[in-house]
Structure 1
């Protein structure tokens, strides 16, 4: 039975992976509403525009009626507050994300101590998948079958189109 509240899952989703989608699926079952916040990170050069990332996440989350996708600029804690929530979802992969996510959680707590961070551990099938790894594979692989192990079909098409540019 879902908790009667809104949770917010933030990230760059550049691009959205099967690991992200699995966290979205699980979080949408736990909370009445889930907002997927797609952030603009000034320190990164994204593969996809913010508009394209929003479009791709909307496509892959269509089956989840309680999921809404929104872009945001600025601090994640401010975006969570704008969504009238106090729950931030973070997906975490064993070993690779623990220290960074813990540091981010502590910083967020200093910025707004009313925001709670809920960590969802990545399923073992996706614990090695990252957007950075995916970009490296996409750049050198000509096999859609290989890429399909990491991304949903709409993202596969967008990746191929982007790599062809």
Structure 2
């Protein structure tokens, strides 16, 4: 079975990688799709995020990285995939993700959403929080892969 794991991944965190790793062990193929969200002001371009994700998932033979602008249900149809995996950090994530899952199901009746809790040690972690801590010089080395930390630090030099 092939699944889609969507997100903005700006930047990819160890919490994201926890979900990707576990999905790669349970499913035949995992398509990690970077969705462009016009409501967000990203630190990295979609292409930069794709390169970072490719780097940190290079050891997973069944993980593919892609970029898409538009409705997730349309992407799923194009790929012939009927299962979306959404990572949850805390109960607070569930309400929003449930609304999204219900809307996706409304738009495409065949589309299922599987919710997967991240490892407890990452339950506090968000990309926004990582960027904020990094901007103020905090240590993010334990919450993102080294290559991502380096990329964030490089971006912040130009700010």
After superposing on structure 2, the runs of 4+ consecutive aligned residues of structure 1 that deviate more than 2 Å are none
Question: Does structure 1 residue 94 correspond to structure 2 residue 87?
Answer: no
> 1:141 Cα shift?
1.6
**2:17 maps to what in 1?**
21
How many residue pairs get aligned? The number is: 158
Match of 1:35 among 16, 24, 31: 31
Question: Does structure 1 residue 159 correspond to structure 2 residue 152?
Answer: yes
**1:147 maps to what in 2?**
140
Calculate the TM-score normalised by the size of structure 2: 0.97
Q: How does 1:45-84 map to 2 (within 5 A)?
A: 45-84=41-80
> 1:92 Cα shift?
0.5
- 1:100-126 Cα offsets, whole Å, 9 max, x none, are 111111111111110110111011010
> 1:137 Cα shift?
0.3
Match of 1:135 among 131, 134, 137: 131
Q: How does 1:100-115 map to 2 (within 5 A)?
A: 100-115=96-111
Identify unmatched segments of 5+ residues in structure 2.
Answer: none
- 1:19-63 Cα offsets, whole Å, 9 max, x none, are 000000001111101100001111111110000000000000001
Please state whether the residue corresponding to 1:147 is helix, strand or coil.
coil
**2:40 maps to what in 1?**
44
Please state whether the residue corresponding to 1:35 is helix, strand or coil.
strand
Query: Aligned-pair RMSD on alpha carbons?
Result: 0.8
Calculate the TM-score normalised by the size of structure 1: 0.93
Q: What is the distance in 1 between the residues matched to 2:153 and 2:127?
A: 15
